[in-house]
Amino acid sequence: MHLIILRSGTSDPYCIVKVDNEVVARTATVWKNLNPFWGEEYTLHLPMGFHTLSFHVMDEDTIGHDDVIGKISLSKEAIGAQAKGLDSWLNLTRVNPDEEVQGEIHLGLELRKDAGKFSLHCEVIEARDLAPRDICGTSDPFAKVIFNNRSAETSIIKKTRFPHWGETLELNLDAEDLRDERNVTVEVWDWDMVGKNDFLGKVEISFACLHKSPLLGGWFRLLPLGNREADAGGKLGALRLKVRLVEDRILPSMYYQPLIDLLVESVISPTEVEDSSALTMLEDVTTVESRQDVAMTLVKIYLGQGLVVPFLDYLNTREVNQTTDPNTLFRSNSLASKAMEQFMKAVGMLYLHEVLKPIINRVFDEKKYIELDPCKIDLNCTSKRISFKGAVSEEEVRGSSVEMLHSYLTSIIESIVGSVDQCPPVMRVAFKQLHKRVEEQFTEPENEDVKYLAISGFFFLRFFAPAILTPKLFHLRDQHADTRTSRTLLLLAKALQSVGNLGLQLGHGKEQWMAPLHPIILRSVASVKDFLDKLIDIDHDVEVPQRAVFMPSVTVKEGYLHKHKAEGPQLLSRFAFKKRYFWLTSEMLSYAKMPDWQVRSSIPIQCVCAVERVDENAFQLQNVMQVITQDNDGQLHTMYIQCKNVNELNQWLSAVRKASIHNECMLPSFHPGAHRSGKWTCCLQADRSVAGCSRSHSAVTLGDWSDPLDPDVEAQTIYKQLLQGKDKLRLKLYFCLSDGAECHLELMKPGHNLATRLLLVIEDLEQVHVTFQHREKEDVTSII
């Protein structure tokens, strides 16, 4: 994201991303900048029924509340209308309170006739998730039904966003009213003792619907007034966004099985005809832009099948056999290259964190000014004088920079070369196979190093170096680095790339100012080769945990949080939250007082039935989440956990939701408050066991490397790629001979039987999708 703010003075902008008014992400703050660049990317897994994606640009204030600069709101329909996604500058609009509505209201409307007189009865039952309008984070809502200059109001329920009215409002109608084409409007307002009431939303129902169906009822989404303000002509600034909506209908597993069988067959029984497997055909129809997504999807499919090593070996063997110049090996963005990259991220991310995180944290904490390029040295940036003789010289800056880079680089190299036993076995076996294929292809003495370069090219250049360059993208840090730290990371990444190239290209580039690092790079070559030899020294026949990252014993997230477990009817205090260290695996959510404690308290993931946010007014604390579990007796228990910021909150919410996504006991609703002083702070109900007053959000998660395997979703992604390339597949398999007005199609490929099967699978899936779509249309009833 990139922002231009048209205003005088300065700002400290950051951006909040919301889905239907739920905050799902927050960018870093760019201090004292009217033209901030964030460059942050988020993948959001959302329910099909979401309505709006909005971006609020804020100005952070160290004292008081942050100011709103402006916002951009995109409807689901607007995003979906852009087939290739939205990529443009959009003007910020002012935030109008009358447009910032949320929530739903439960109504029952009935048109009655009694003794020749008609009346409209509106049962106002309850509302949920209303917008907070008061300073304490709640509202004082009441509802009003309006029709043809007649109106009636409910009572006011104070200090809640989840009011229960249970009242029936009646409007007497004249005969003329029955012919009116107007709408019945139900409005919700926040009552204020001083000043005017605040608008909370409205519902409009056509009076004609009551003629057709005298009794209407259900939950209705609250809508804004509709007085949309213009975008202020760009006076508030503009935000550049790239947004793409991918919406799929996922079929039952049995429909995808023929496609999975063909993909498995490609690696279990590879044909001698190189271009006639399902994988090679998929690569032919995959665009460069989509190849990375396809590669990650395939990695997950074969991880799920326990065949990721044969899959990578198949692609790598094909790539190696087609390469004549070893200098170009794996240099393109082929499916093999992308698959290896995504494979390392899928199974090696925890390993990368273990190796790099201490050093990355040190670089961020020390914030040293480091520069080697004479053209970029700024003597005013040095934090302290290096020389006692006066001003700092360029030579002194370079000297101190070389010393610090030596220290950082030595730590990185030592950490990597000492990590053989930490590297996931499945990665080691995959690299062993790669080493073997390269050694078989390039047997000449002058190509002795190619077998090392093939592995180090992936290991150092495509895994460790990118993680050093941009730690946030690899979840090593919560925020992007500042300018000074970014430069240090860039220099370290450059140096590590030279290490990965075994120092073979030193001195041949334009950056001769990197020469002071050449000695340490050259000295590390021997230890790197020794490390690679040990890395592939693993028995191929050993039982390899191919799905290592998804195994129960693997910790997918950990860190300090503040915990309070609700037990009994006691008063919950904000001071009851105690610092604890948490671990999350696919089977357990555990915590202890310290990370090194062996005795831990644990919650089985299979007992989790909701993972949700907690309203700020429940404990007068921000960034609190709740984990609701169910014991063997069916009793619900709630653990409240406070995170340090909104991003950490979203990450933990997402991680625990993904771990529990397949649980059968998930709750459809929950209480966003706490039970205090004999009632729930959210809906004011006294009964502790009453059903939740807000809908749960288990489907809202952040997409990252820890996403659980979902074979149906992955197969659907591959099907869509093949469907888009169906015509290209046909052209590849057949050729057209023109003979006058006739065109004869003849088979030209020996592997046409497999190709025909693949096309039939695509067409069968296409027909199933059409059938399901027709069924959905037949099942749709009138929804207002």
Instruction: Please compute, for residue 491, the number of CA atoms within 13 A of its CA located in the half-sphere on the CB side.
Output: 30
Looking up tokens 């010393």, which residue turns up? 403
Contact indicator for 46, 19 with CB cutoff of 8 Å: yes
Q: Distance (Å, rounded) from C-alpha 639 to C-alpha 620?
A: 17
What secondary structure does DSSP assign to 516-546, as a single string?
Answer: GGHHHHHHHHHHHHHHHHHHT-S-TTS---T
* Residue 714 CB burial class (10 angstroms; 0-12, 13-18, ≥19): buried
Q: Can you give the pLDDT at residue 115? A: 76
Q: Can you give the pLDDT at residue 759? A: 87
Alpha helices in 391-505 (DSSP H): 394-417, 425-441, 450-456, 465-469, 483-500
Give one word for 236, left, alpha or beta, with left for phi > 0 and alpha for psi -120 to 50.
alpha
In order of 108, 128, 295, 549, the CA distances from 219 in angstroms are 9, 10, 42, 41
Q: Is the pLDDT of residue 721 over 60?
A: yes
Task: Assign 3-class secondary structure to 177-213.
Answer: HHHCCCEEEEEEEECCCCCCCEEEEEEEEEHHHHHHC
* Residue 773 CB burial class (10 angstroms; 0-12, 13-18, ≥19): exposed
Q: Distance (Å, rounded) from C-alpha 358 to C-alpha 560?
A: 16
Mean pLDDT of 480-504: 91
pLDDT band at 503 (very low <50, low <70, confident <90, very high): confident
Mean pLDDT of 442-462: 91
pLDDT band at 416 (very low <50, low <70, confident <90, very high): very high
pLDDT digits 0-9 by tens, 343-354 = 999 899 989 999
Q: Which residues pair with 44 in a beta bridge?
A: 702
Mean pLDDT of 497-505: 89
pLDDT digits 0-9 by tens, 607-651 = 999 999 999 888 889 999 999 999 989 899 999 999 998 889 999
Q: Can you give the pLDDT at residue 376? A: 86
pLDDT digits 0-9 by tens, 154-205 = 999 999 999 999 999 998 888 777 776 788 999 999 999 888 899 999 999 8
Nearest to 482 by CA among 366, 329, 344: 366
3-state SS class at 421: coil
Contact indicator for 370, 405 with CB cutoff of 8 Å: yes
Q: Can you give the pLDDT at residue 4? A: 59
Instruction: Please compute, for residue 495, the number of CA atoms within 13 A of its CA located in the half-sphere on the CB side.
Output: 31
pTM: 0.79
- Other beta carbons within 10 Å of 537: 10
φ and ψ of 126, to 5 deg:
-165, 170
In order of 361, 363, 366, 406, 485, the CA distances from 488 in angstroms are 13, 8, 11, 12, 5
Mean pLDDT of 762-772: 89
Q: Is the pLDDT of residue 745 over 80?
A: no
Contact indicator for 285, 728 with CB cutoff of 8 Å: yes
Compute the mean pLDDT over every residue in the chain, rounded to the nearest whole number. Answer: 84
Q: Is the pLDDT of residue 32 over 80?
A: yes
Contact indicator for 215, 108 with CB cutoff of 8 Å: yes
Contact indicator for 532, 634 with CB cutoff of 8 Å: no
**Pair of tokens at residue 150:** 């007649």
Contact indicator for 695, 128 with CB cutoff of 8 Å: yes
